[in-house]
Chains A and B, each alone.
Chain A
Amino acid sequence: MTAQDVFFYIFALITLVPAFVCVFHPNILYAGLSLFGSFFGVAGIYVLLGADFIAATQVLIYVGGILVLILFAVMLSKNIYGAKFQDEKKKKILPGLLGLILLGFLVKFILTTPWNMTLTDEAPLPTVSRLGDLLLTDYLLPFELASILLLAALIGAIILARSK
């Protein structure tokens, strides 16, 4: 086991444990908070995969943006003074069971598929300029579409959230 493998397991734990808490914790606020750890762990995984720019973007967008928004929504959509965010105990058995079955199949497929791995040991680092080049050449149309999507979301959110 190399140091990188150790880091993988650490980050996997950082990702999965909070994800578990997020799904099963009765308090919705705690669930949201635990997402913080999960997002951070995923960012670490990205770093291990040589995607430093993606990792920083993950932190910036998920932690700095999405998570804050989610917490905002949690606080705005409940009676915030005194009330406990108890999510009613609900039968989680059926979804859990089905999820486990699905997971079993997924793992089975992953382990049995003969992956055509062509790992190149080139230095992974300067990805930023190459990503930028790709975005403005091969992926120009998706890039433009993404910007239109963001604009539409922006306008839509403003119209939805505006008080009448």
Chain B
Amino acid sequence: MLESLFLKFLPSLDPMTSAMVMLLGMPLLGFVIQIFIGKRLFRGGDWVSVGTIFVSFALSVLLFIDLLSSGPQFQWTTSWTWIDLPHFQLTMGILVDPVTILMLLVITTVSFLVFLYSIGYMHEDPRYSRYFAYLSFFSFSMIGLVLADNLFALYIFWELVGLASYLLISFWFEKPEAAEAGKKAFIVTRIGDVGMFIGILIIFFETNGLLHFDSIFSYVAKGQFGGEFLGISLLTLAGICIFLGAVGKSAQFPLHIWLPDAMEGPTPVSALIHAATMVAAGVYLVTRMFPFFTPEARTVIAYTGSFTAIFAATMALTHNDIKKVLAYSTISQLGIMMMGLGVGAYVAGFFHLVTHAAFKACLFLCAGSVIHALHTQDMREMGGIRKKMPITFTTMGVATLALSGIPFFSGFVSKDLILGESLSFAMENPSHFLIPLFGFLSTGLTAFYMFRLIFMTFYGEPRDSKKFDHAHESPWVMTLPLIILSLCSLAIFFTGSPLGLGELSLWGEKSQWVKYLLEPPSSSEHPTSAHLYALILSLTMAGCGILFAYLIYYKQTLSSEKIAEKFKCIYKTLTHLYWIDELYEWAVIHNLLRLNTLLAHFDNRVIDQVLVDGWAPITISTSTNSGDFDNRAIDQMLVDGTGKVVRASGKEVRKIQTGKIQQYLLVGLGAVCGILILLTLV
């Protein structure tokens, strides 16, 4: 469908290439137009950005329809040489396979809806068109990231995405917190990226310059990837290094600290970048490189993921900032995905990425809608706005149920798959029992803090009547994305069966499209016998979480203050986020400064005063002597003597130069004639 369309309109170009270039280029076009002339356009040019991203969105949908009809074996790739050196060639290319197309679909859908939403959310902002320029730039980079067919291209777009994230987090740079948060996000992710770059370099040197995904995998599959470093095989080390990049970008422990601060950016940005797409890039990277990871590396991934899941979930319990709660929830869910990939649940991990993108974007946009109405982010100042904002309430409720893993909703389907696989993984390797344990606990905590959020925001009495009176439902450009995203959070959208369970489905195999399209790499076959236990366990955990939230924040039969008082130590730890920031401050920054002072002292005392200054007397005496020689012998005899000779001869020769160009030419012509005559005579 896509190909025939392009063949008709652009007959001279390869249809798939032009489609991909257009898909990638439209947001870039939007960015260029917006950044240069956006301000002068009608309505600040928002229609340019929305229009361009809509084209990309439409192309992705067409591509997806093509993919559904051609099946999971679909793969299209093209590449061209970028740098051509004698011993190696760097190519740039496009790889389109089911993973790419699913990512494209997620990115362009959420982007389009967020762009639409932003029209309403940002309409009073003085830098309206620049905001859209940045958003377009982000979409361009993200699409480029998933289209890249080699690690190097992916790395370039990986950094561009980071840049876009930085620009958008510190979009309101007048606020010092926003500027700080942007810097923090940029620097912390950079730590992970350095790891990733080291990983790429290891691969590059080990494989003699292979950077293409397919060629790396076949190289690894042939067992040629040898080498050890300090007793660890280089393959594992490279895998962990690559994973470090994902840790940074997907905010896994211990580099998770930037994501909550990133909530200083505009809320649609949080929805797009810090919930649905960019932070999922880490998960995408692990998915893309999946065959590359050794079992050891996978175990590291699984532990990191599961620990992050429970760790972030606990931190979300005590926060009162609506966006930060969602941010911690995002970290926790990303941890779940990583855990799934780590235990080998390739399909489930990626599936959760897709479902999570929909419902988490929805949650953020709902939160944005609430913030837009109440002009506060503090949940303690909200409450009781259920009736005033029915659409926001309903959609947010749907997304919350999806996040909590309740049947009939999408989160249930994907999360349950992951938990089941992790359980069966632990049953095979009982020593790794902590992984599923963390996973199930975080499920319960997730349900608890999400319902806490719902109850505090929408139920009860309004705590701030002034803000409450101003509250109103948002305009249609904001509610329409909410409705669409909440529809996408229903299980039926992903499975074809309303409950989201079992093999029952309305449209056959293809209705479970994510599962249908993804082919797990052969190395990750797992018996899924543990699903039923996992189902019961996770539902119990979620039920408990919801029950506690109901008792504490709705019925208020249990007082939250009393609980906090009772577990004061834990409560304090949680509100201080485990003192991680303080730890970094002390361990890294403080000690670094001390070391710097020490080095400066060394520099000053030893190098400057002893080494450098010590040279001076020696130099002075030498130069005095050589200066004498210079003056007497060279200057007065050689140099001045030459000058005198030249001046004397110049005085005579000068007379030839008359300044009359014709005379010169005449002499030249005469010389030519003279030479000719001489030649004929000889």
Contacts and interface: CB of A to CB of B under 8 A. Distances in A.
How big is chain A's contact interface, by range?
A: under 10
Nearest to A95: B666
Contacts of A101: 673, 676-677
A111 to B, nearest CB: 14
Nearest to B669: A98
Interface in A84-123: 94-95, 98-99, 101-102, 105
Interface string B651-682: 00000000000000010011011001100100
Nearest to B670: A98
B658 to A, nearest CB: 15
A95 B672 CA distance: 13
B563 to A, nearest CB: 78
B676 A98 contact: no
B676 A95 contact: no
Interface in A54-107: 94-95, 98-99, 101-102, 105
Contacts, number: 18
A88 to B, nearest CB: 13
B497 to A, nearest CB: 63
B666 A105 contact: no
Contacts of A98: 666, 669-670, 673
B385 to A, nearest CB: 66
A102 B680 CA distance: 13
A100 to B, nearest CB: 10
Nearest to B673: A101
B672 A102 contact: yes
Interface in B610-635: none
A95 B680 CA distance: 21
A98 B676 CA distance: 12
B677 to A, nearest CB: 8
Interface string A7-29: 00000000000000000000000
A102 B673 contact: yes
Contacts of B673: 98, 101-102, 105
Interface string B173-205: 000000000000000000000000000000000
Nearest to A90: B662
A58 B25 CA distance: 45
B610 to A, nearest CB: 57
A101 B675 CA distance: 12
Contacts of B672: 102
A9 B666 CA distance: 31
A7 B156 CA distance: 68
Interface in A11-55: none
Contacts of B670: 98
Contacts of B669: 95, 98-99, 102
Contacts of A99: 669
A102 B675 CA distance: 11
Nearest to A97: B673
A94 B667 CA distance: 11
A25 B670 CA distance: 24
Nearest to B676: A105
A102 B673 CA distance: 6
A94 B672 CA distance: 14
B676 A94 contact: no
Contacts of B677: 101
Nearest to B668: A98
A105 B672 CA distance: 11
A94 B670 CA distance: 9
B667 to A, nearest CB: 10
Interface centre among A95, A98, A102 (most CB of B within 10 A): A98
Contacts of A105: 673, 676, 680
Contacts of B676: 101-102, 105
A96 to B, nearest CB: 11
Contacts of B680: 105
A41 B427 CA distance: 100
A102 B677 CA distance: 10
Interface centre among B666, B669, B677 (most CB of A within 10 A): B669
Nearest to A101: B673
Nearest to B671: A98
B675 to A, nearest CB: 10
Nearest to B677: A101
B60 to A, nearest CB: 39
A144 to B, nearest CB: 22
B24 to A, nearest CB: 30
Contacts of A95: 666, 669
A98 B672 CA distance: 9
A147 to B, nearest CB: 26
A105 B680 CA distance: 10
Nearest to B679: A105
A53 B278 CA distance: 60
A7 to B, nearest CB: 33
Nearest to A109: B676
Nearest to A98: B669
A94 B507 CA distance: 103
Contacts of A102: 669, 672-673, 676
Interface in B207-249: none
Nearest to B680: A105
Interface string B385-409: 0000000000000000000000000
A13 B400 CA distance: 98
Nearest 4 interchain pairs by C-beta: A101-B673, A105-B676, A98-B669, A98-B673
18 contacts: A94-B666, A95-B666, A95-B669, A98-B666, A98-B669, A98-B670, A98-B673, A99-B669, A101-B673, A101-B676, A101-B677, A102-B669, A102-B672, A102-B673, A102-B676, A105-B673, A105-B676, A105-B680
Interface of A: 94-95, 98-99, 101-102, 105
Given A99-B669, A101-B677, 6 more contacts: A94-B666, A101-B673, A102-B669, A102-B672, A102-B673, A105-B673
